[in-house]
């Protein structure tokens, strides 16, 4: 089977590589020539555990090809995935420019039946627009060709994307024809061997599923963060509350960890986009608006604790930051709580020394010389006034507290991810601030 994937960003590259890994011939297309040349040599533009090795292996086996020519890529493809970016507009809605450009290109060059699949997270109604754009181009050419569109949202988590793709909880596909359904079943068969389902539905439902999934997950996080804040006020402990509610299987104990707020390229963007889509149809998504408001506020909670301890004037003070990426196992800093925290601390006169296991280059690109960068976690503690933990990287979980004690000026830790035991911290003589727990 031969397929092509347009867009070699995060979704496109991971999907293409995983399809190639099960024996499908995949051609990945991108307009960025530099990126394609690097990819041909096996150099990948993103950090994702295991991906580079997999790209190498599949290039060597001749199953993973890269090109800047969409025409060439789709020549023998049975399925074409559109996985280009949909950056948010100023008003929060997803910009479909790139998706529809690709659709037009496909219409210009298509010469046989294909299923054209939207894989990027796109607003409800996009597949219809893709279909219209292709039809329009075919009409311009005076060509009559049978084709189908489908919506196949992805549910990859950064840092765990390969496992998520190879062993998906489910595959969701929105189609309009049996022919397309059969094609998609054949394509995904290798990934469904361990009993995970492929769920077929109509196209708007598939498009909606993606937003509903991310909206639900974001809601869980804002809900638990709201509860955590209340726990602090009433003297309860969010970890115990989480155990208490999570053991009810209807609630579950996964993905309800309180923290410094959710970030990344998905939840913030998708929550905004679905609120905007609803508003366009004259409907107000009140729960999601609250989810977003709680999250915006949550990114400031650690700074409030810093103010509570040190006061509002932080000039002459230096804070050591552990973790910059929006979550562990990625170098992605989009919408990361760290950015809000750094911004606020600097505004209050403080200096920042930061360390992240993989996001240092990305941080330098975004923050430049606004902050200082350390070589390792302990390096940033030298002469710092306090430690602030923002991302729960494994290497921060069991640090040497004696060394921390020796290096930082004050025995104070602000923990935005609840990774240390409050009792142990107090026993060790630290002033310890975390989210929703009793210190």
Catalytic residues: 266
| Binding of ligand UGA by 94 (CB under 6 A) | no
Q: How many residues bind ligand UGA (CB under 6 A)?
A: 20
- Cβ–Cβ < 8 Å for 352, 288: no
The whole-angstrom separation of Cα 215 and Cα 220 is: 9
Task: Give me 412's structure tokens.
Answer: 């104070």
Integer angstrom CA distances of residue 191 from 3, 56, 186, 234: 16, 21, 10, 48
Using the rule CB under 6 A, which residue among 73, 116, 187, 217 binds ligand UGA?
Answer: 217
The footprint of ligand UGA on residues 318-357 (CB under 6 A) is 326-327
Give min distance, CB of 254 to ligand UGA, in A: 7
Neighbours of 200 (CB within 10 A): 18
The whole-angstrom separation of Cα 329 and Cα 158 is: 7
The whole-angstrom separation of Cα 336 and Cα 367 is: 12
| Binding of ligand UGA by 255 (CB under 6 A) | yes
Q: In 3D, which of 382, 373, 393, 387 has the Cα closest to residue 425? A: 387
Using the rule CB under 6 A, which residue among 7, 107, 174, 259 binds ligand UGA?
Answer: 259
Cα end-to-end span (Å), the chain: 58
| Binding of ligand UGA by 264 (CB under 6 A) | yes
Nearer residue to ligand UGA within complex by CB, 264 or 377: 264
- Cβ–Cβ < 8 Å for 359, 325: yes
| Binding of ligand UGA by 256 (CB under 6 A) | yes
The whole-angstrom separation of Cα 338 and Cα 389 is: 9
Give min distance, CB of 295 to ligand UGA, in A: 9
Nearer residue to ligand UGA within complex by CB, 105 or 295: 295
* Rg (alpha carbons) of the chain, rounded to whole number: 24
Give min distance, CB of 157 to ligand UGA, in A: 4
Helix, coil or strand: residue 387: strand
| Binding of ligand UGA by 266 (CB under 6 A) | yes
> What does the per-residue mask of binding to ligand UGA show for 101-140, with x meaning CB under 6 A?
--------------------x-------------------
Nearer residue to ligand UGA within complex by CB, 81 or 155: 155
Which residues are annotated binding-site positions for substrate?
155-158, 210, 255-259, 263, 327
Site of interaction with ligand UGA (CB under 6 A): 121, 154-158, 214, 217, 221, 255-257, 259, 262-264, 266-267, 326-327
């Amino acid at each position: 089977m031969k397929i092509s994937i347009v867009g070699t960003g995060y979704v496109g590259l991971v999907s293409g590589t995983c399809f190639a890994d099960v024996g499908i011939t995949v051609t990945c297309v991108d307009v960025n020539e530099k990126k394609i040349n690097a990819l041909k040599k096996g150099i990948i533009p993103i950090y994702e555990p295991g991906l580079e090795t997999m790209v190498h292996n599949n290039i060597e086996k001749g199953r993973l090809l890269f090109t800047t020519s969409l025409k060439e890529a789709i020549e023998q493809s049975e399925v074409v995935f559109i996985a280009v970016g949909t950056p948010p507009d100023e008003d929060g809605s997803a910009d479909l420019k790139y998706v529809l450009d690709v659709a037009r290109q496909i219409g210009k060059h298509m010469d046989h039946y294909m299923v054209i699949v939207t894989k990027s997270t796109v607003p409800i109604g996009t597949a219809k627009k893709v279909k219209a754009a292709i039809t329009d181009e075919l009409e311009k050419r005076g060509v009559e060709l049978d084709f189908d569109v489908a919506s196949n949202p992805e549910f990859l988590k950064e840092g765990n994307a390969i496992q998520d793709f190879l062993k998906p909880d489910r595959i969701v596909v929105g189609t309009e024809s049996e022919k397309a359904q059969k094609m998609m079943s054949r394509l995904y068969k290798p990934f469904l061997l361990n009993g995970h389902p492929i769920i077929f539905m109509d196209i708007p439902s598939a498009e909606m599923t993606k937003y509903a999934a991310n909206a639900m997950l974001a809601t869980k996080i804002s809900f638990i963060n709201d509860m955590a804040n209340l726990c602090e006020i009433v003297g309860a402990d969010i970890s115990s509350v989480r155990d208490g509610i999570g053991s009810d299987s209807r609630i579950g104990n996964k993905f309800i960890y309180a923290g410094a707020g959710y970030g990344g390229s998905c939840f913030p963007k998708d929550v905004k986009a679905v609120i905007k889509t609803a508003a366009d149809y004259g409907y107000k998504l009140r729960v999601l608006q609250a989810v977003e408001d709680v999250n915006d506020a949550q990114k400031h909670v650690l700074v409030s604790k810093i103010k509570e301890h040190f006061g509002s004037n932080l000039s002459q003070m230096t804070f050591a930051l552990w973790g910059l990426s929006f979550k562990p196992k990625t170098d992605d800093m989009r919408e990361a709580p760290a950015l809000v925290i750094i911004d606020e601390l600097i505004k209050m006169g403080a200096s920042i020394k930061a360390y992240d296991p993989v996001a240092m280059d990305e941080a330098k690109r975004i923050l430049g010389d606004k902050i200082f960068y350390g070589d390792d976690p302990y390096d940033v503690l030298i002469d710092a006034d306090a430690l602030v933990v923002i991302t729960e990287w494994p290497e921060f979980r069991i640090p040497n507290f004696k060394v921390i004690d020796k290096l930082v000026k004050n025995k104070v830790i602000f923990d935005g991810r609840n990774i240390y035991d409050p009792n142990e911290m107090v026993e060790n003589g630290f002033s310890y601030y975390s989210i929703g727990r009793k210190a």
